[in-house]
Amino acid sequence: MNAEIIAVGTEILLGQISNTNAAYLSEQLAALGINVYWQTVVGDNRQRLSQAVQTAEGRSDLVITIGGLGPTDDDLTKEVVADYLKVDLVPNEMAAEKIAAYQKRTGKMLTTNNAKQALMLKGARPLANLNGYAVGDFYANPDGADFVLLPGPPREFKKMVDSALIPILQEQSVNPQLLSSKVMRFFGIGESQLVADLADLIAQQTNPTIAPYAKPAEVTLRITASGSSIREANQLIDEIVSQILARDGDYFYGYGDDNSLAAVVVKDLVDQHLTITAAESLTAGEFQSTLGDVPGVSAVFPGGFVTYANSAKERLLSIPPEIVDQYGVVSETVAIWMAKMAKEKMGTDVAVSFTGVAGPDELEGHSAGTVWIGMAYQNREPQAFLYQFNNGRQQIRDRSVLTGLDLIRREIKKA
Amino acid sequence: MNAEIIAVGTEILLGQISNTNAAYLSEQLAALGINVYWQTVVGDNRQRLSQAVQTAEGRSDLVITIGGLGPTDDDLTKEVVADYLKVDLVPNEMAAEKIAAYQKRTGKMLTTNNAKQALMLKGARPLANLNGYAVGDFYANPDGADFVLLPGPPREFKKMVDSALIPILQEQSVNPQLLSSKVMRFFGIGESQLVADLADLIAQQTNPTIAPYAKPAEVTLRITASGSSIREANQLIDEIVSQILARDGDYFYGYGDDNSLAAVVVKDLVDQHLTITAAESLTAGEFQSTLGDVPGVSAVFPGGFVTYANSAKERLLSIPPEIVDQYGVVSETVAIWMAKMAKEKMGTDVAVSFTGVAGPDELEGHSAGTVWIGMAYQNREPQAFLYQFNNGRQQIRDRSVLTGLDLIRREIKKA
């Protein structure tokens, strides 16, 4: 099945927002085995929207519009599609009741415009809007491409895709196979290297499929399989996952779309009853802030130190100024001192430290991107590791933080 | 002039990346007064790319492709456009030399594929690629729409747009007016309020134009004017800027695309010779990390404290546990203690503190989003301010950080 996505909204054509909805929907459709050959963006303009609908209907099996279902005069999608398909618009009872209830609760008048949000293509299946008032449509077209109408606000759009559209597409599938997918996350290996390592698996992929995706500083693989049951699909996934882990398991750190290195490290620390602190120079609190993103981190992270200037290394961590003078602030010795003293002062099991050159200027003769990461872990001998990162100040700091997290993850695994 | 953007890349149709290039380009074109009526995305497929090019050429004055200029077999854009326009592809000397120099430097063979990146439409003006090897094209078409070919990797794309394409478009403009624009940045006022305050100015806009743009937690206005000289355009901008400042100057914090509250605060601190530290509970280092993003911050920021747990408030800041017990950790008193003690321990002129509930769970009977921000500023009486933020853990922390920065900005202005 070939689908085409039409995003409707002048704000996209003005560059005020990126078309992230199309990206999300495309990813979901790909996972369902539906090919998306075209994405189009058109403004809130009746004539051009008509033209886009007609073009799409002529070359696709499924046309999905995003946006233009709201209450204002600019919101034209339903009218344009109804005109094109020559079907009427009729009120959807549940959506109309929801709007009426809102009116009652807030005391606002139910204007014609608001009522418009409850209108649907006659004969379409409603797609409930759990985060808003505009109802969506799934219109099985006896004479041509099927039409799906979705709202534009991302919260409404995403919820409707997940809870209403995907189940219908699965059910409508010509070959009613059930789909399952699993995301594998890797750190410390580039996309091209990972793809090269798995070249034969990727080349022969049919079921499961393997989709690599490079994010800043990490790579994910989405493994998607179909089967007559979820269990059967999952077995296919597990087999390929084992093969991938046998090759690149050293870089694999966890599963799941919403996972992160920080979440994995916090979970590992909680599981092992290990507390952690940090002393940060070039990262200036970013490592600790990244830990702070993870709900539940308070069980293992009491706090720590930002020691940007040398004076702070002395004041907060009691590092003798002679040490900094002798070895330089960007040095193995200072990284080890920072980790050791942070651990001691905070009374934690683990401490990590960051000292280096964020740039843009060099420091003490070291170029931007030179970073030492120190690690003090229970009674093990404190160590520090040297890295050379690049691509500018923020990337150097981000990369330092992720590398620190990965060092901890590996250190915990040694236990 | 009407432009159409064709982004070429299967990775966009698979939802692996958002089409952020199209958003950036659309914004630039809007600022130049060029209408974008269509954006299309098509995969690395010869037949569909041909179809997209043909459709675009039939309805637009300017067709801009993004992507598909690279060395691999998938990169088809040049060939397809050359076929459509019936012009040859010829090597661009400078681009070819750059590739040859790269080969010499790295010892890699110059493959046919690499050489392909130096090819251009015969008769086109080259658009230099300062961040890569694929040269871009500006082809003034005597028989139809003009064509622009740009590379897909965002770093290469953006640089080429800024440094090569925009100057040509300005110069090619039918009405050779010169354009100038200025971005005004606001914090603490919502987009809808700002737009309401400026409704009459926005309604009557012709030259300059006023384009509001809501980003997470801040709003910007891009004021764009044209004139027979940049000076004339700037005068028109200055007049409208004065009117806007008279109405909402209290929320205005700075000019410029690459500006930020953190950059403004760091600049103010440097100008006033004021040093700063922080004690962070719920923000867990994010405030200090945000300062750390600004090059040159080391002159005013020695470091600070992450005091996530109560034990850290005692250990690092010597806050008596009775104070926390008596008032609760989410309290005006504790926020003031944190700021006061951080300032004292670090020996800075200014200290800011954050204590509150990041969520998802409530704390001490306070709901997620309850945040106290404390401020100790030279010899002024330390104060703390209460906020109620919402929308989830990360947004609560982000908003706290920005609000802390804005408090400092306002405190400095009082001096």
pLDDT tens, residue by residue, A317-363: 999 999 999 999 999 999 999 999 999 999 999 999 999 999 888 99
What does the alpha-carbon distance between residue A40 and residue A12 come to, in Å, rounded to a whole number?
11
Average pLDDT, chain A: 91
> Could you read off the pLDDT of B290-301 as tens digits, one per residue?
999 999 999 999
- For residues A370-398, average pLDDT: 94
Q: Which of A169, A91, A155 is nearest to A126 (CA)?
A: A91
Residue of B nearest to A17 (CA): B23
Least confident of A64-68, A221-225, B173-177: B173-177
Contacts with B303 (C-beta within 8 Å, 6 or more apart), sequence order: A281, A284, A305, A306, A307, A308, A309, A312, A313, A316, B277, B288, B346
Size of chain A in residues: 415
Q: Would you give the DSSP letter of residue B206?
A: S
Question: Domains in chain B, ordered, with CATH?
Answer: 2-172 (3.40.980.10), 178-255 (3.30.70.2860), 261-414 (3.90.950.20)
Q: Do B111 and B117 contact (CB within 8 A), yes or no? A: no
Q: Which of A18, A25, A295 sits opposite B393 (nearest CB)?
A: A295
CA atoms within 13 A on the CB side of B23: 15
Q: B279: which strand partners?
A: B305, B353
Instruction: Name the closest residue on chain B to residue A348, using Cα atoms.
Output: B312
Minimal Cβ distance to B288: which of A39, A213, A284: A284
**Total beta-carbon pairs less than 8 A apart between chain A and chain B:** 235
Q: How far is A300 from chain B (nearest CA, A)?
A: 9
Quick one: what percent of chain A has pLDDT higher than 70? 97
Query: How far is it, in rounded angstroms, from Cα A32 to Cα A25?
Result: 11
**Which chain B residue has the Cα nearest residue A41?**
B39
Q: In this model, does residue B151 exceed pLDDT 90?
A: yes
Contact B13 A27 (CB under 8 A): no
- How many percent of chain B have pLDDT more than 90? 69
Query: Which position has the higher pLDDT, B86 or B98?
Result: B86
Rounded to 5°, the CA angle A281-A284-A287 comes to: 100
CA distance A20 to chain B (A): 5
In 3-state terms, what secondary structure has residue A37?
A: strand
Q: Do B394 and A29 touch (CB under 8 A)?
A: no
- By DSSP bridging, strand A209-215 and strand A89-91 are unpaired
Asked if the model's pLDDT at residue B288 lies above 90, the reply is yes
Q: What distance in Å separates residue B302's CA from the closest CA in chain A?
A: 4
Contact by Cβ (8 Å): A30, B18:
no
Residue A107: what pLDDT?
67
Structure confidence by residue, pLDDT tens digits, A250-277: 999 999 988 999 999 999 999 999 999 9
At B7, phi and psi to the nearest 5?
Answer: -95, 130
